[in-house]
Amino acid sequence: MDMASIRYERLEATDKFDPADDDSNNNIVNTATDEASSPSRRRPIWTRRQATLALLGNLVLLLTSICLLSVAARRRPSPSHLECAQKVSPYSPMWEAVEFWEGNFANEFNSSTKYRGPPTLERERAWNDLWHYHLIRVDAAGVAALNQTHAGRHAQVKGSDPAHPEFGATIEVFHQLHCLNVLRQYSWPLDRFDPSWGEDLYPSMLQDAATGRTHVDHCIEALRLSLMCAGDITPVLFLHDKASPLGVRADFNIHHKCRAFDPLVDYVQRNGVELET
């Protein structure tokens, strides 16, 4: 065929082009939109490396915080002897007077002190000076703290305000020493005491056998309760002693940590009150 004889004719379009009718164009646009909006195809905000670094940083902060708290706890001052004693003791208005000392008792089995031996005027005075003092005042809140809220039963001190009552009380250590003194006096014949020493020193309560026996029994029970309540667990060691029938003897020079007695007496002497009778 002769290529020169081939003729080309222009074809006329039968309809005008409408982009809205172009399905292929719509498919391309929709596909692009779907890809942009699909979460699974978005670029992640954190890379794996960034997440690992963040986790390590949080762990470092946590460990640092724990170390700082541990150091702070160790540097916190320990509670004082007084604070510890208050936590394990009942209420008292006298805590400001409490002091402590630590050392060994001077208490050989046959030692001599002003408190040991038969009744004399000087010895009775020494014992009386251990316990015979005025009372202290306790307010209504203190009575409640002692679990003794019996309205109207407790005696008030002289000058107590009825709107804010204050009540009189001795302290337990004085009561215990009084009882110990009664037992000491009871262990001696009554004729070893001289009535001329005065009513504070002469054990007149022992003149009546029944009254004396009742008082002694009360004191034995009071001291039993107090000793068992305190429950002193300080070890009492034993010493080799060939002269002893058992070959050993107890060492009564025992190490103790004690409340100082004189400051307690000083407090009562400064703040002592009397009952309203």
Tens place of pLDDT per residue across the chain (277 aa): 454 555 545 555 555 545 555 454 454 445 445 544 555 555 666 687 777 888 888 888 888 888 888 776 677 677 888 999 999 999 999 999 999 999 999 999 999 999 999 999 999 999 999 999 999 999 999 999 999 987 788 999 999 998 999 999 999 999 999 999 999 999 999 999 999 999 999 999 999 999 999 999 999 999 999 999 999 999 999 999 999 999 999 999 999 999 999 999 999 999 999 998 8
4 lies in a domain? no
- In this structure, the answer to whether residues 130 and 206 fall within a common structural domain is yes
Are the beta carbons of 136 and 144 closer than 8 angstroms?
A: no
> What phi-psi label fits residue 117: left (phi over 0), alpha (psi between -120 and 50 degrees) or beta?
left
Are the beta carbons of 249 and 238 closer than 8 angstroms?
A: yes
Q: Exposed, middle or buried by CB within 10 Å (0-12, 13-18, 19+), for 20?
A: exposed
62 lies in a domain? yes
28 lies in a domain? yes
Q: Provide the domain count of the chain.
A: 2
11 lies in a domain? no
**Reported pTM:** 0.72
Can you list the positions of beta strands (E) in the chain? 100-104, 136-139, 166-169, 238-240, 248-250, 255-259
- In this structure, the answer to whether residues 265 and 142 fall within a common structural domain is yes
- In this structure, the answer to whether residues 114 and 218 fall within a common structural domain is yes
- In this structure, the answer to whether residues 146 and 119 fall within a common structural domain is yes
- In this structure, the answer to whether residues 69 and 89 fall within a common structural domain is no
